[in-house]
Amino acid sequence: MIEFPHLMQVVMATLSLSAMVTTIVMTRGKASADTIKELVATLATKASADRLEALEDRVDKAEDRVSRAESRLEHVPDKDVSHRLEMAIARLEGRMETMDERLKPVAAMANRVHERLFEEASR
């Protein structure tokens, strides 16, 4: 039969062996995990740098477009100026109608003078 001290030696040897195997596996796993973390970080940094550069280009283009739009909008009249222009145009239309009515008798006189001169020239 197996005696207790021999059984303890076998159990202790098994525990020691399993501890050694676990340490080896864990060390290799940790090294692999560290390597994977480094690769992921490198790829993320590179991808982020490329993406960041692309985003910076897009932001620069957007800023240029906004600047051009702002410079164009500086020359566009605002609501108050547009209203004043509409009112001035309405006043000018009224004056033009008044001027048209005042010029009708002058045009009639010019026609009579023209007809008279034409009649005198035909005699």
3-state secondary structure of 74: coil
Q: Please state, in angstroms and rounded to a whole number, the distance separating the CA atoms of residues 83 and 101.
A: 27
Query: Taking 90 as the threshold, does the pLDDT of residue 59 lie above it?
Result: yes
The whole-number pLDDT of residue 98 equals 92
Q: Residue 36's closest CA among 25, 48, 28? A: 28
What would the two tokens of residue 5 be? 């001290």
Q: Please state, in angstroms and rounded to a whole number, the distance separating the CA atoms of residues 68 and 62.
A: 10
Express each pLDDT in 29-56 by its tens digit.
777 778 888 888 887 777 677 777 888 8
pLDDT category at 61 given cuts 50, 70, 90 is: very high
Query: Taking 70 as the threshold, does the pLDDT of residue 9 lie above it?
Result: yes
What would the two tokens of residue 37 be? 């973390």
The whole-number pLDDT of residue 1 equals 60
pTM for the model: 0.39
